[in-house]
Each structure stands twice: as C-alpha cells, then as structure tokens.
Structure 1
Amino acid sequence: MDIDASSWQGKIAAGVDEAGRGPLAGAVFAAAVILDPANPIVGLADSKKLSEKQRDALAPIIKAKALAWSVASASVEEIDKINILQATLLAMKRAVDELSLQPDIALVDGNQPPSLRCQVLTIVKGDSKVAAISAASILAKTARDADLLQLAKVYPGYAFEQHKGYGTALHLQRLTELGPCPAHRRSFGPVKKLLDNV
C-alpha cells in the first residue's frame, strides 16, 4: 500500500470500483463499500487477481462486515446512448447514492471522477492499494458475473457463461454465427461492424 491515507483519516470513506467496461455485452456494474475499521476483512485484493471461487467466498463476507455497501449498474441502452465511460461514471454515482450511509469522501479506482455529492479522490490502481476499493471491485465483479449467467439463460448459444461477454474468439465466433442479441452493446466495434454489414 503506497497510498497516503491521511487525506481521509477520520472521515467516512467509500471505496468505489466498476466491472465490465470492456465486454461486448451486458450492463456495466459499479459498487461502493464503506468498510468497518473495527471489523477488518482478511483476503481483500483486486478482484482481477482473485479466482472466481475466492471472489464468491469474499462477497458475502464483505456484505456482512461492511458498514454499508451498494451495487448499481448502467444498462446496455445507456452505454450505447452516452458511451461506456459516461455509463461507468453513472453506475458509480448510482452506487454511492444508494449507500445507506453517505460518505464524506469517495475513493474511486482509476483517474476519472464521477460527479458525486461528496469529495472524490481518484486513485490509479486503487483496487490493489485501498482495501475499500478492493471490496468494491469484488462486489461489482461478482454482481456482473451473476448477471451474465442470467443472460446466458435468456440468450443461449452465445456462451455468456464462459466468456462473460468479453470479446474472446469463442464469443466473436458465436456473434458472427448468430448475430447480435439485445444484450450486445451496439456501439462497440465488433458488434457495430456486424450490424453495419447486415
């Protein structure tokens, strides 16, 4: 941890992170978590560095031990309408707004600050530096993965349960064979290209 935590000492701080900016399908998710300093959680790390099993085990612990937590999303339609960056910031704003305890400061992973009622501090690679952001990354990732498993049932054939919407060779193959479904982001290159060729 090479972050100077003095800027939020004594304040109610919410960690904020997103999941699903890069995929070709599904909503983008964000989570906000206010950890309890008196009730630390062992094993928090950037969700990308944890296995699915580790994330699934940590998510309910975070929800049980945190002072407050919230998960929100921005839809495929919103992503296509306002672009993925703005949709991500919107999901982050929704997550913070929905917290049962309003923070004094939001510690946001990355370098793009969402528009919030509280103070905002962006931290590049924050999900591996700040425990509250790590917790948010885990909740956002597990929520998004669960959503993609539901999409796999609604739109069988695309193998969403395997690639979670990312542009893998398998996903691109199925996309070419079946064409885009309503869960696909029409503003994203590979999907847009297929639609333009119809």
Structure 2
Amino acid sequence: MKKLTINQIKKRLTEKPEDTFFLKELESDTRRGVQQLLRSQQKQREYDQELKQQFTNMNTYENSLKKEGYLRIAGIDEVGRGPLAGPVVAASVVLPDDFYLLGLTDSKKLSKQKRENYAAYIHENALAVGIGIATASEIDQHNIYEATKIAMSRALDNINYPCEYLLLDAMKLPVDLPQTSLIQGDSKSISIAAASVVAKVTRDEMMEDLAEVYPAYRFDNHMGYGTKDHLEALNKHGATKEHRKSFAPVKAIL
C-alpha cells in the first residue's frame, strides 16, 4: 500500500487526533517528518490534558458550593488598581453548569486576542454579566481600596440576577450575601477568572477610547500604567481629568 504523504498524515491527524490505531501505525514510519508530527501530536495531547485538569481544578469551589445548595454563584473581580489614569473596572459573572472554556484563567496570563475571544464567549454563554466602574475622581475621593469595592458593588448591582453566593478575588463586599474571598482567585475559580477577563477587556476598550481623546498620552499602549512614555507625557503635558491625582507620580507633577 502506498504510504501517505506528510501533508496527508497531517490532515488526518488534524481531523482524527485520537485515532489510536493510526497513531500506532505511524510509530513504525521512519520518516523524520512523520516522527516530528507524532511528537507534536503528543505534546498537543499533553497540553490539552493539562488544560482539562486546570479547568477541573478551577471548578472546585463552584462544585463544592453547588453541593451545599448554592446554584447561582457570581464570580467578581476587578482590574486597574495600579494605573495612574483611568477607572478601576469590575465585572460580576454567573456561569451555567455546562459552561466549558478550556484555557480560561487569570486575564493577566492571556494574550490580548485570547482575552477578547474569551470575553465574547463569556458574554454569549454566561447566565448574567454585570459591569461596574469607579472613576479616577472617585478613586481620589475615596482611595483605591474603597473605590475598588465601589466598582465591585456596582458590578453586582448591574448584574440584574438573583445571586445566592459570591466568590471574590481578595475582597469582601458589604452586602447581605454569603461570600468567599480568595487570594489569587482568578487562578483558582472559573467564575472569578471569567469576571477577570470581562473586566480587563472592558477597561482596555475604555482606555483605547481615551487614547483618541488624549492622543499625546498613548493610553492604548500602556492602559494608564506608569510606563516611561506615560511619565514623559505627564511631565510634558500635565495631568488630564482621567489621571488619579492622589497617586504619587501624578501628585508630584501637580
């Protein structure tokens, strides 16, 4: 029987990656290209298995709470505590029981493209999503910690869904709902991770809009963080109304 070409083998592996009989056959094919395909296939299977295990681990808190009778669990997270400009943005997300999105984790560990793809999937498949923001002036008025709680509370208010339990990333909210605060929760809870991604994409879009209003500051490049370019723009042009005037680098310039 005529051997398949490397491209034909690659196509078949793409279409039927779990065909164990075919994989066994390929092990005896001495062509270098075939063995490279097999190694690549093995690495992909191992990576996929890692993602599945990660997804299982990140559902631990949700599954435990559901066994206790809590069915409507909201994950809440924020982004934007550290920047010198722009709002702090929070998101609250309630996921359905059959939610499945391999690779979803802390938004900081994902590429921009993946975050945007994941955020779109979450918006489409979540039971409910709420967004809350606290402006730069509110951060100056209350301090960043209190402003973060304000943004999170607004995200919960805006979800318009009867939540029964809250999972939060390193925060507690003054609301009459049972809740658990998890350190690095966006790497431990799938609901918090979903909120982290939605909040990050939302805030990045806001900063990209502000970049058009204030082009000299290039907010779309650094999202308001204190990069060298941002500090140079601050020194040259002064602070905008979107800058956090209580933050030391901005305060020093003022």
Match of 2:245 in 1: 186
Q: Tell me which amino acid in the other structure corresponds to 1:167.
A: G
Q: How much is the aligned-residue C-alpha RMSD, in angstroms?
A: 1.3
Indicate how the Cα distance of structure 1 residues 4 and 63 shifts in structure 2: closer, same or farther if over 3 A, else same.
closer
CA contact 2:222–2:230 (8 Å) conserved in 1: yes
**SS of match in other structure, 2:217:** coil
Instruction: From 96, 101, 118, give the equivalent of 2:177.
Output: 118
Instruction: From 79, 101, 113, give the equivalent of 1:53.
Output: 113
Match of 1:134 in 2: 193
Paired residues for 1:1-198 under 5 Å? 1=57, 4-5=61-62, 6-9=64-67, 10-11=69-70, 12-110=72-170, 112-195=171-254
Unaligned runs of 5+ in 1: none
CA distance in 2 between counterparts of 1:177 and 1:41 reads 45
Q: Tell me which amino acid in the other structure corresponds to 1:97.
A: D
CA distance in 1 between counterparts of 2:232 and 2:99 reads 47
Higher helix share: 2
CA distance in 2 between counterparts of 1:168 and 1:88 reads 22
**SS of match in other structure, 2:85:** coil
CA displacement at 1:7 relative to structure 2: 4.0
Give the share of equivalent positions with the same residue, in percent: 43
Q: Tell me which amino acid in the other structure corresponds to 1:43.
A: G
CA contact 2:86–2:135 (8 Å) conserved in 1: yes
CA distance in 2 between counterparts of 1:82 and 1:8 reads 36
Structure 1 length as normaliser, TM-score?
0.94
Unaligned runs of 5+ in 2: 1-56
CA contact 1:96–1:102 (8 Å) conserved in 2: no
CA distance in 2 between counterparts of 1:43 and 1:63 reads 16
CA contact 2:61–2:189 (8 Å) conserved in 1: no
Which of 113-122 and 169-178 deviates more? Answer: 113-122
CA contact 1:33–1:70 (8 Å) conserved in 2: yes
Give a deviation string over 1:66-105, Cα, whole Å, max 9, x none: 0111111011111000001000001001111111212111
Q: Tell me which amino acid in the other structure corresponds to 2:157.
A: D
CA distance in 1 between counterparts of 2:146 and 2:207 reads 21
Indicate how the Cα distance of structure 1 residues 67 and 164 shifts in structure 2: closer, same or farther if over 3 A, else same.
same
CA displacement at 1:8 relative to structure 2: 4.9
**SS of match in other structure, 2:102:** coil
Tell me: higher relative CO, structure 1 or 2? Use CA pairs within 8 A at least 6 residues apart.
1
Structure exhibiting the larger radius of gyration computed from Cα positions: 2
Structure 2 length as normaliser, TM-score?
0.74
